[in-house]
Structure 1
Amino acid sequence: MVVVKEFQVDSVLYPRTWYNTLPLLSAVLFHPARARAMGVNLLAANTHNTSMHMTGPVWDMVLQEVQCFIWSLLYDSKTHSVLQYSLDFSMTTTQFLAYAAISVFCVLKVNSLDTFIAAVYEHAVRLPDDPLTLVSPEEALAFMNRNIDVLEGAITLAANQGAHIIVTPEDGIYGYNFSRESIYPYLEDIPDPQVNWIPCNNPNRFGYNPVQERLSCLAKNNSIYVVANIGDKKSCNASEPQCPPDGRYQYNTNVVFDSQGKLVARYHKQNLFMGEDQFNAPKEPEMVTFNTTFGKFGIFTCFDILFHDPAVALVKDLHVDTILFPTAWMNVLPHLSAVEFHSAWAMGMGVNFLASNLHNPSNRMTGSGIYAPDFPRAFHYDMKTPEGKLIISTLDSHPSHSIVNWSSYASSIHAFPTGNQEFKGTVFFDEFTFVELTEIAGNYTVCQKELCCHLSYEMSEKRSDEVYALGAFDGLHVVEGRYYLQICTLLKCETTDLHTCGGSVDTASTRFESFSLSGTFGTQYVFPEVLLSDVQLAPKEFQVSSDGRLFSLKPTSGPLLTVTLFGRVYEKDLASNGSPDLSTYSVKIIVTF
Structure 2
Amino acid sequence: MITSQLLAYVATSIFCILKVSAVDKFIAAVYEHAVVLPNTSLTPVSCEEALALMKLNLDLLQRAITSAAKQGAHIIVTPEDGIYGWNFTRETIYPYLEDIPDPRENWIPCNDPNRFGHNPVQERLSCLAKNNSIYVVANIGDKKPCNASDPQCPIDGRYQYNTDVVFDSEGKLAARYHKQNLFTSEEHFNSPKRPEVVTFNTTFGKFGIFTCFDILFHDPAVTLVKDFHVDTILFPTAWMNVLPHLSAVEFHSAWAMGLGVNFLAANLHHPLKEMTGSGIYAPDSPRAFHYDMKTEEGKLLLSQLDSHPPRSVVNWSSYARSIEAYSTESQKFKGIVFFDEFTFVELMGVTGNYTVCHRDLCCHLSYKMSEKRSDEVYALGAFDGLHTVEGNYYLQVCTMLKCETTDLETCGDSVETASTRFEMFSLSGTFGTQYVFPEVLLSEVQLAPAEFQVSNDGRLFSLKPTSGPVLTVTLFGRWYEKDGELNTSSDLKAQALG
TM-score higher than 0.5 here?
A: yes
Match in the other structure for 1:383: 293
Structure 2 CA distance for partners of 1:341 and 1:419, relative to 1, 3 Å: same
Query: Cα deviation per residue 1:181-240 (whole Å; 9 max; x = unaligned)?
Result: 000000000000000000000000000000000000000000000000000000000352
Shift of 1:105: 9.4
Shift of 1:132: 3.5
- Corresponding residue SS for 2:415: coil
Shift of 1:428: 0.2
Q: Structure 1: how far apart are the matches of 2:120 and 2:375? A: 58
Shift of 1:457: 0.3
Q: Is residue 184 of structure 2 the alignment partner of residue 274 of structure 1?
A: yes
Match in the other structure for 1:210: 120
Match in the other structure for 2:413: 503
Match in the other structure for 2:427: 517
Shift of 1:313: 0.1
Q: Structure 2: how far apart are the matches of 1:365 and 1:493? A: 23
Query: Cα deviation per residue 1:89-112 (whole Å; 9 max; x = unaligned)?
Result: xxxxxxxxxxxxxxx896444131
Q: Is residue 462 of structure 2 the alignment partner of residue 552 of structure 1?
A: yes
Any conservation in 2 of the 1:132–1:177 contact (CA below 8 Å)? no
- Corresponding residue SS for 2:343: strand
Shift of 1:402: 1.0
Any conservation in 2 of the 1:238–1:244 contact (CA below 8 Å)? no
Q: Structure 2: how far apart are the matches of 1:419 and 1:135? A: 61
Match in the other structure for 1:435: 345
Match in the other structure for 1:146: 56
Any conservation in 2 of the 1:169–1:326 contact (CA below 8 Å)? yes
Match in the other structure for 2:224: 314
- Corresponding residue SS for 1:201: coil
When normalised by structure 2's length, the TM-score is: 0.95
Q: Structure 2: how far apart are the matches of 1:131 and 1:146? A: 19
Match in the other structure for 1:224: 134
Q: Which amino acid letter does the alignment assign opposite residue 119 of structure 1?
A: A
Q: Structure 2: how far apart are the matches of 1:511 and 1:391? A: 28
Q: Structure 2: how far apart are the matches of 1:465 and 1:254? A: 47
- Corresponding residue SS for 2:439: strand
Match in the other structure for 2:483: 573
| Structure of higher RCO (CA pairs closer than 8 Å, 6+ residues apart) | 2
Q: Structure 2: how far apart are the matches of 1:140 and 1:209? A: 13
User: What does 1:63-74 correspond to in 2, within 5 Å?
Assistant: 68=9
Q: Is residue 252 of structure 2 the alignment partner of residue 337 of structure 1?
A: no
Q: Structure 2: how far apart are the matches of 1:215 and 1:203? A: 11
Query: Cα deviation per residue 1:470-492 (whole Å; 9 max; x = unaligned)?
Result: 00000000010000000000000
Match in the other structure for 2:332: 422
User: What does 1:151-550 correspond to in 2, within 5 Å?
Assistant: 151-418=61-328, 420-550=330-460
How much is the aligned-residue C-alpha RMSD, in angstroms?
A: 1.6
Match in the other structure for 2:495: none
Sequence identity (%) = 79
- Corresponding residue SS for 2:331: coil
Match in the other structure for 1:564: 474
Any conservation in 2 of the 1:67–1:107 contact (CA below 8 Å)? no
Match of residue 121, structure 1, among 24, 31, 39: 31
Shift of 1:359: 0.1
Q: Structure 2: how far apart are the matches of 1:106 and 1:359? A: 48
- Corresponding residue SS for 1:288: strand
Q: Which runs of 5+ in 1 are unaligned?
A: 1-35, 38-65, 70-103, 577-593
Q: Structure 1: how far apart are the matches of 2:447 and 2:243? A: 14
Q: Structure 2: how far apart are the matches of 1:238 and 1:210? A: 30
Shift of 1:396: 0.2
- Corresponding residue SS for 1:287: strand
Structure 2 CA distance for partners of 1:285 and 1:361, relative to 1, 3 Å: same
Q: Structure 1: how far apart are the matches of 2:143 and 2:153? A: 12
Shift of 1:575: 7.5
Shift of 1:68: 3.6
Q: Structure 1: how far apart are the matches of 2:160 and 2:311? A: 38
Q: Structure 1: how far apart are the matches of 2:131 and 2:140? A: 20
Shift of 1:129: 1.5
When normalised by structure 1's length, the TM-score is: 0.79
Query: Cα deviation per residue 1:157-188 (whole Å; 9 max; x = unaligned)?
Result: 00000000000000000001100000000000
The structure with the largest alpha-carbon Rg is 1
- Corresponding residue SS for 2:214: helix
Structure 2 CA distance for partners of 1:290 and 1:535, relative to 1, 3 Å: same
Q: Structure 1: how far apart are the matches of 2:90 and 2:383? A: 37
Q: Structure 1: how far apart are the matches of 2:348 and 2:458? A: 25
Shift of 1:418: 2.2
Structure 2 CA distance for partners of 1:409 and 1:205, relative to 1, 3 Å: same
Q: Structure 2: how far apart are the matches of 1:349 and 1:417? A: 33
Aligned length: 480
Q: Structure 2: how far apart are the matches of 1:419 and 1:263? A: 59
Q: Which amino acid letter does the alignment assign opposite residue 408 of structure 2?
A: L
Q: Structure 2: how far apart are the matches of 1:312 and 1:503? A: 29
Q: Structure 1: how far apart are the matches of 2:454 and 2:275? A: 29
Q: Structure 2: how far apart are the matches of 1:464 and 1:417? A: 24
Q: Which runs of 5+ in 2 are unaligned?
A: 487-498
Any conservation in 2 of the 1:420–1:436 contact (CA below 8 Å)? no
